[in-house]
Amino acid sequence: MKILEGGLGNVPGFTFSAIECGIRYQNRLDMALLFSAEPCHACGVFTQNKLCAAPVRLCRERINDPIHCILINATNANACTGEEGYKNALQLTANTAVSLNVPEESILMASTGIIGVQLPVSKMADSIPSLSRGLSVDRGHDLSLAIMTTDTHPKEYAVSFESSAGTFTIGGTVKGSGMIAPNMATLLAFIITDFPIERKKLDDVFRSSINSTLNAITIDGDTSTNDTAIILAPVSKTPVTNEPDIEHFSQALLQLLEALSVMLVRDGEGTTKCVTVRVVGAVSLEDAKKASRSIAESLLVKTALFGEDPNWGRVACAAGYSGARLREEKLTIEIENIPLLVNGVPVEYSDKDIRDILSRNSFVITVNLGLGEHSFSFLTSDLSYDYVKINAEYST
């Protein structure tokens, strides 16, 4: 595998566009296209929130069709907008289809931004011809800029990998800084590849990779109305079916999603720490997930991380109420390589050494349940004053 500079623009067969439409703010990119002249297999993972946004509903209806394009907008979520919001999404994708001369059902849509406000449809529709004309292989980075909301910088990544059928590429971009939690998060993720693969296998690999990456991060425990992760791969008459090649693709996709997940947490709203919570020694994988997520989402743990306070009792407490099977006399907690609790008994440690670790912007908390062989890791952030300030002022 080789890490490439940039993101989406590394993948042959795709073009991109982004414009300043003025959907909510002036003088910022807020509307984008991701386009393939050839039809693509599409697979998607979406929010589990019962109040799903209109574009999520539209994507779920079309995701099994051959796909040419994703229309994306920021600053307005088109969520909790009723049938009018859904009709607006249909109209805008229909306009895009006409502009690109492709079938209407081959256009997906993704939106992010404020909830409960109708899209400025006329303004957006008038911008689509210009958006279509601006498609270029060189504008992948602009798309990454256009999908941002409270993000402080664009997030993109690309890798190439070898297979018996040749060298292929995967590129991706994500946005998200708050309302980040599993199933999924307030994030948009767009992944593209030139690797020809059967749709069922693509879906299996994508979902498996998502489970340990985008569905294993948390900033504030909130799951949004618009969460969307889509991968596109070319429809091919001769897809690669060789299992070693599929495995190379899977490894490359996992590396890409891991890198993008770290970028999301590092750029969390008000974040100063990006911390791995690793639970080992669990009776089952489900128990390991329960315990690691409970610790990672604990507000008391997060505030301790921000204060660089070695309060391991908050970690133990969160593991205890997680629902995972746990016995106090088996529980061990370490920060990096420094044990704080061993088999349920507190141990002496160097205050200076532990605070040196906690002052870093990245470290690992390991919790050993001592009951089995299963493990799982969550990536989490601290909770700072700035998180409250950012979200107190979001709609105004």
pLDDT score recorded for residue 183: 60
Judge contact between 231 and 212, C-beta under 8 A. no
* Long-range Cβ contacts of 59-63 (<8 Å, 24+ apart): 59/108, 59/109, 59/110, 59/228, 59/230, 62/105, 62/106, 62/107, 62/108, 63/108, 63/230
Q: What is the pLDDT of residues 9-22, one digit of tens each?
A: 999 999 999 999 99
Q: Residue 230 carries which side chain, given as an amino acid letter? A: I
Of the candidates 47, 93, 173, 186, the residue annotated as catalytic is: 186
Please give the model's pTM, rounded to 2 decimal places: 0.91
State phi, psi for 33 to the nearest 5 degrees: -130, 140
Q: What is the pLDDT of residues 110-163, one digit of tens each?
A: 999 999 999 999 999 999 999 999 999 999 999 999 999 888 899 999 999 999
The CA-to-CA distance between both ends of the chain, in Å, stands at 45
pLDDT score recorded for residue 27: 93
Judge contact between 358 and 310, C-beta under 8 A. yes
pLDDT score recorded for residue 389: 77
- Rounded alpha-carbon distances, angstroms, from residue 81 to 55, 78, 119, 217, 231: 11, 6, 9, 28, 26
pLDDT score recorded for residue 222: 62
d(CA 352, CA 205): 44
pLDDT score recorded for residue 229: 94
Instruction: Please state the domain extents for the chain.
Output: 2-266, 274-392
Residues, the chain: 396
Q: How confident is the model at residue 67 (pLDDT cuts 50, 70, 90)?
A: very high
d(CA 389, CA 270): 9
Which stretches of 31-143 are assigned E, i.e. beta strand? 31-46, 67-73, 107-111
d(CA 249, CA 253): 6
Q: What is the pLDDT of residues 24-47, one digit of tens each?
A: 999 999 999 999 999 999 999 998
Tokens of 328: 């106090």
Beta bridge partners of 4: 158
Q: Residue 206 carries which side chain, given as an amino acid letter? A: F
pLDDT value at 373 more than 80: yes
pLDDT score recorded for residue 184: 59
Report the CATH fold assignment for 274-392.
Answer: Ubiquitin-like (UB roll) (3.10.20)
pLDDT value at 185 more than 70: no
State phi, psi for 313 to the nearest 5 degrees: -60, -30
pLDDT score recorded for residue 182: 53
d(CA 68, CA 108): 8
Q: How confident is the model at residue 395 (pLDDT cuts 50, 70, 90)?
A: low
Return the DSSP state at 313: H
Q: What is the mean pLDDT of residues 196-218?
A: 94
pLDDT score recorded for residue 282: 98
Judge contact between 228 and 191, C-beta under 8 A. no
276 is catalytic: no
**What CATH number belongs to 2-266?**
3.60.70.12
Q: Which residues of 351-385 are buried (b: 16+ CB within 10 A; e: fewer)?
A: eeebeebbeeeebebbbbbbbeebbbbbbbbbbbe
Q: Residue 322 carries which side chain, given as an amino acid letter? A: S
CA-closest candidate to residue 334, choices 322, 318, 316, 317 = 316
Q: Report which of residues 50 and 94 the model is more confident about.
A: 94
Alpha helices in 231-361 (DSSP H): 243-266, 285-297, 299-306, 312-320, 351-358
Q: What is the mean pLDDT of residues 247-264?
A: 96
Calculate the average pLDDT of the chain: 93
pLDDT score recorded for residue 252: 98
Q: What is the mean pLDDT of residues 81-98?
A: 98
